[in-house]
A and B are shown apart, each in its own frame.
Chain A
């Protein structure tokens, strides 16, 4: 079993839709959780960094962590074609960060 599981998609939505991206994890030691956006052939770009359970909002993005169910979510409001990318979730409890395989998102104009 992978430490971080993520549906690879692809997920296709119309412009303006609310997007929900999800991950599950198995490592109980994880305390910090991250979402990165990666465009094709580029390095990952940090979107959200959260500690333990709860919600964090930044503009159109909201990250949720539920440690009791080991579930991580990212919501994107008013999605734009420029949001089309691969979204990576990750967790860390020490120096090692474990990533999911990424979900490909397509936002159609």
Chain B
């Protein structure tokens, strides 16, 4: 049973550049959430996707955008990178529920460094 996979593992970018991170959910899951985890902090919710649409968004600027594909995989795009965007970006997958997020399983993350 394949778990959540993310690519790439590490990424180094410079300020102002754009980045795309990718996630494949756990087999059988249809909902993908993205989180940003700064060093020494807990994960912060960016947004959640289901049926190729954004269901809910956290307190992140429009520079952060996402997409979900028909096969449930997802991308996170960040434009105009800032130094403060350096973090571990985590993808979590779950089964859809009407009014809440069911058990989430996390991928290993993509570590983004902005210079």
Contact = CB atoms under 8 A, between A and B. Distances in A.
Interface of A: 4, 6, 8, 31-32, 34, 36, 41-46, 49, 88, 90, 92-102
B40 A44 contact: no
Interface in B16-72: 33, 35, 40-45, 48, 55-56, 58
A98 B100 CA distance: 13
B42 A41 contact: no
B48 A96 contact: yes
Of the four ranges (under 10, 10 to 19, 20 to 34, 35 or more), the interface on chain B belongs to 20 to 34
A95 B42 contact: no
B7 interface: no
Contacts of A92: 100-101
A95 B43 contact: no
Top 6 nearest A-B pairs by Cβ distance?
Answer: A99-B42, A43-B106, A95-B56, A43-B108, A44-B106, A101-B42
Interface string B59-103: 000000000000000000000000000001010000000011101
Contacts of A49: 103
A98 B56 contact: no
B55 A43 contact: no
A82 B71 CA distance: 36
Given A94-B56, A96-B56, 5 more contacts: A6-B42, A43-B4, A88-B42, A101-B40, A102-B40
Contacts of B48: 95-96
A34 to B, nearest CB: 8
